[in-house]
């Protein structure tokens, strides 16, 4: 599925750090965040030998045969191995997906608004700066990276401003809070599932959101 000579077709590749036990999170992200840009996402994982999660390693093999979107290496899944995981992904990317335009690093608990990301990255640089400073877009994780021929990365990291929810009396999960942002951390699987549908509901109507400096 991943062929170097076809990687130029991938505009934005979501690189999602996951662990073997997070099957539900991966499935939600497949169905929502990456659905309109497939094959534009991969999950990068280590392995584990702890009880139930050991059996999840086999489940990952089954899921990969179906979706072809999991990269798993034989090292212990842990926080201290995140750098190793990232380095191994970059080696894979150089050989299998060298011409992708942008990479976005994230975790499997993020709400990634891929439509907004693509629109932002396709806009001229001046427009991106104006959009980031005036519209109060939030951007989590390591940013959107543009691989270069020299192996370096150019990072598009828009500024962010706090959106004043209390003054608007919005619920923390009100879709109006998230419809214009790029990415936000720390959601449960069912929250990701519902939020994606809510922000894409054509009937959604929102008042302008005030931002702070």
Tokens of 24: 């539900």
> pLDDT tens, 25-64?
998 888 876 544 445 889 999 988 766 666 777 788 888 8
Stated pTM of the model: 0.75
Is the distance from CB of 155 to CB of 145 less than 8 angstroms?
yes
Per-residue confidence (pLDDT) for residue 4, from 0 to 100: 85
Q: What pLDDT does 136 receive?
A: 36
The predicted pLDDT at position 44 comes to 95
pLDDT value of position 204: 92
Domain ranges of the chain: 4-199
| Residue-level pLDDT at 129 | 57
- Taking the C-alpha atoms of residue 38 and residue 31, their distance in angstroms, rounded to an integer, is 10
H helices present in the chain, as ranges: 23-31, 52-67, 82-96, 114-122, 125-134, 165-168, 189-199
**Residue 150 has what pLDDT?**
38
pLDDT < 50: residue spans in the chain? 35-38, 132-142, 148-164, 212-213
Question: What CA–CA distance (Å, rounded) separates 155 from 84?
Answer: 20
């Amino acid at each position: 599925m991943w062929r170097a000579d076809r990687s130029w077709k991938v505009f934005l590749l979501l690189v999602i750090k996951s662990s073997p036990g997070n099957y539900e999170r991966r499935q939600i992200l497949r169905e929502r965040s990456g659905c309109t840009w497939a094959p534009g996402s991969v999950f990068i994982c280590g392995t584990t030998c702890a009880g139930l999660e050991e059996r999840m390693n086999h489940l990952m093999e089954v899921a990969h045969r179906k979706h072809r979107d999991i990269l798993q290496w034989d090292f212990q899944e842990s926080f201290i191995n995140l750098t190793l995981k990232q380095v191994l992904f970059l080696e894979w990317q150089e050989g299998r997906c060298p011409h992708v335009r942008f990479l976005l690093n994230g975790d499997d608990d993020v709400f990634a608004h891929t439509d907004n990301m693509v629109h932002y990255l396709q806009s001229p640089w001046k427009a991106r700066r104006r959009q980031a400073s005036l519209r109060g877009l939030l951007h989590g994780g390591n940013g959107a990276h543009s691989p270069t021929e020299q192996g370096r990365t150019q990072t598009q990291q828009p500024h962010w401003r706090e959106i004043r929810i209390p003054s608007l009396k919005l619920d923390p999960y009100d879709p109006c809070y998230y419809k214009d942002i790029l990415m936000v951390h720390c959601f449960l699987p069912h929250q990701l599932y519902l939020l994606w549908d809510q922000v894409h509901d054509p009937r959604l109507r929102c008042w302008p959101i005030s931002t702070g400096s």
